[in-house]
Structure 1
């Protein structure tokens, strides 16, 4: 039985990883800045050991990591900025090395090692480099675009009007993955560290075009949904970072070997976009999120 520390445990990727590890019978230390939050209480109910840890506080990280076997590390610039993400990621890696952990699994982004120029990919690229040099056994998993993003934000706004608003042409494929599959794959990597140490793996569960996504959402919602391409200039006015990401998706794409992953790691239980969409409670999502105009 392993003891795995999980950062971002109350978020999508960390939470999915924590749940997958607990379901497999392992001990989870759920690291969070808000140990009294409802999400933290949910993890406690599942058997996790919830501990306070702050990525800006090396001492809190050292205390939270002491005696753990492994670490699942997730960072984000959203809510702060990419410089903060890079700094926090390096502090986390250094804390893991100081605690002499047996394995660090860092979740990055597909293609982040290719010099994409996307700000929140480049910050992860810097953390990956720091991890490789830290002297701790490591694995990098790099998810493609998140299916879960289609259940919120501007996508959910558009779906109220029967529109799948997305900043890509209708016929260009994009590789996709839900948080549940990221967590399942991360747990697999953590539990089979000898097999995965020193590897970097781009991961995805499916590849769909925006047109196909709209068709799938039509079926899932039970009403017509059509794709509408959002101009990049409109995205850029809101976020230059996300505009750079969608420009990369359009000009380069995210080529991930979905078939190979499904063949080699069937135990992950990879979900297609249709699987994921059918499992969402779209009526509840629409009711819980206020319309933004």
Structure 2
């Protein structure tokens, strides 16, 4: 049976992050019972203002007592793990264990895990930790769906590039890894639609693993920036950061600080080394089927994001 958004309690973790931020507007007005989990008081205040009908909870996902309380009465969970957390695997285990306990009480119906494309790539710690969570939920006995998005188009600082072009400056993209290694990209807009379909259609997606890729053919960042430049009406200049500067930039973007656990720094370093030579490649057919339309091309996504920035100015 499909979900019952009128009555089912939906739990979303890392609810102030980029994935949930695109999803929540699609759920607003449809899901009457939302429990949104954040880590900081600032995120809690911001999300509560944006979604006044939801229950916004500040919690520590690495605290088993907090996790047990979060799952109380929940019918479905969308677990988005905290990026580059040194205990992301253990947090996933805690979430699954709490869901199993809730299922024994009869309320729990569906565990949806946001993972990563090609979690088999063990050289990247951020992929490898998700591989263990995938295995754990598969063996849990819970009805599950695993979503595996590739590199997000939305990681590109397009608002900054747009403002530079608007002000007559040459937009500059500071690349953190090689600009001539091909990648498959996905738009958060497409990921959000896929998440909504999985959450609402429910049983249709039990025990499935879905790679999520938008772009039909792999693109290098050099090719992608040419596409963006055409939409901005101005060439985007490329600057390649050195390795240590790239590590710092990655940590600042993802964690807001360079002062991180050494394991978190290791994660950033290994991902950048992998991306410098191998990229991340996948196929868009599954996403096409899930959202019942052709996923966004890089040009489609750039057009959409430019229009969003222009609308803010009008």
Range class of TM-score, shorter chain: 0.7 to 0.9
Q: 1:156 to 1:121 in 2, by over 3 A?
A: farther
Tell me the TM-score normalized by structure 1. Answer: 0.80
1:255 CA displacement: 2.5
Q: Answer with 227-236 or 150-159: which moved more.
A: 150-159
Q: Answer yes or no: is 1:92 the counterpart of 2:95.
A: yes
Aligned to 1:208, what secondary structure does the other structure show?
Answer: coil
Q: Answer yes or no: is 1:275 the counterpart of 2:300.
A: yes
Residues 116 and 248, structure 1, Cα contact 8 Å, conserved in 2: no
Alignment gaps of 5+ in structure 2? 250-264
Q: Match for residue 56 of structure 2?
A: 50
Q: Answer yes or no: is 1:253 the counterpart of 2:279.
A: yes
Q: Answer with 243-252 or 92-101: which moved more.
A: 243-252
Q: Answer yes or no: is 1:178 the counterpart of 2:184.
A: no
Q: Match for residue 60 of structure 1?
A: 66
Q: Match for residue 289 of structure 1?
A: none
Q: Among 19, 22, 25, which residue is 2:28 paired with?
A: 22
Counterpart-to-counterpart distance in 2, 1:118 and 1:77 = 13
Alignment gaps of 5+ in structure 1? 286-293
Q: Answer with 63-72 or 25-34: which moved more.
A: 25-34
Q: Match for residue 244 of structure 1?
A: 270
Counterpart-to-counterpart distance in 2, 1:178 and 1:278 = 12
Residues 168 and 210, structure 1, Cα contact 8 Å, conserved in 2: no
Q: Match for residue 225 of structure 1?
A: 236
Q: Answer with 98-107 or 123-132: which moved more.
A: 123-132
Tell me the TM-score normalized by structure 2. Answer: 0.76
Q: 1:15 to 1:236 in 2, by over 3 A?
A: closer
Counterpart-to-counterpart distance in 1, 2:207 and 2:308 = 43
1:189 CA displacement: 1.2
Q: 1:119 to 1:199 in 2, by over 3 A?
A: same
Residues 211 and 226, structure 1, Cα contact 8 Å, conserved in 2: no
Residues 10 and 40, structure 1, Cα contact 8 Å, conserved in 2: no
1:217 CA displacement: 1.8
Aligned to 2:16, what secondary structure does the other structure show?
Answer: coil
Aligned to 1:223, what secondary structure does the other structure show?
Answer: coil
Residues 109 and 142, structure 1, Cα contact 8 Å, conserved in 2: yes
When the two chains are superposed, the root-mean-square deviation of aligned CA atoms in Å is 3.2
1:24 CA displacement: 4.5
